[in-house]
Amino acid sequence: MKKQRPVNLDLNTITFPPTAISSILHRATGVAMFIALVFALWAWSVSLSSPEGFDRVVVIMNGIVGYIITVGTVSLITYHMLAGFRHMFMDMGHWEELESGNLSAKITIGLWLVLTVVEAIVIW
């Protein structure tokens, strides 16, 4: 049986609903936290290897690269936790309707952006 479905290969015309964006971000932040863990383990290993290694990690973390890594990692953790709480409430039967699900996704993303700015200022 031949399927007569429309095929849209123009990715610029596809728009995702807020719930899809929230879900994708939740998965992406989980993967990015794993990658950040690799850096944390490297920094820990180098800093414990010798006094010179410790000084090298301190120099990296006190520079702009360290600031970006720190803010990025804290931002990843913040979003992943916010989205995790959102999913937990959805598992309990809340925000399962289309309108409330979209609203909770928008609030989660908005709150994440606000908290990331606040965290970046506090870390500075």
As a whole number, mean pLDDT of residues 73-99 equals 94
CA distance 113 to 75: 9
CA distance 113 to 9: 31
pLDDT at residue 22 greater than cutoff 70? yes
Q: How confident is the model at residue 106 (pLDDT cuts 50, 70, 90)?
A: very high
As a whole number, mean pLDDT of residues 66-85 equals 96
Q: DSSP characters for 5-38? A: ------GGG----HHHHHHHHHHHHHHHHHHHHH
As a whole number, mean pLDDT of residues 63-75 equals 95
Domains of the chain, residue spans: 18-123
As a whole number, mean pLDDT of residues 90-114 equals 94
Per-residue pLDDT at 13: 78
Percentage of residues of the chain with pLDDT beyond 90: 85
At 11, the amino acid letter reads L
Q: How confident is the model at residue 74 (pLDDT cuts 50, 70, 90)?
A: very high
Topology (CATH) of 18-123: 3 helical TM bundles of succinate and fumarate reductases (1.20.1300)
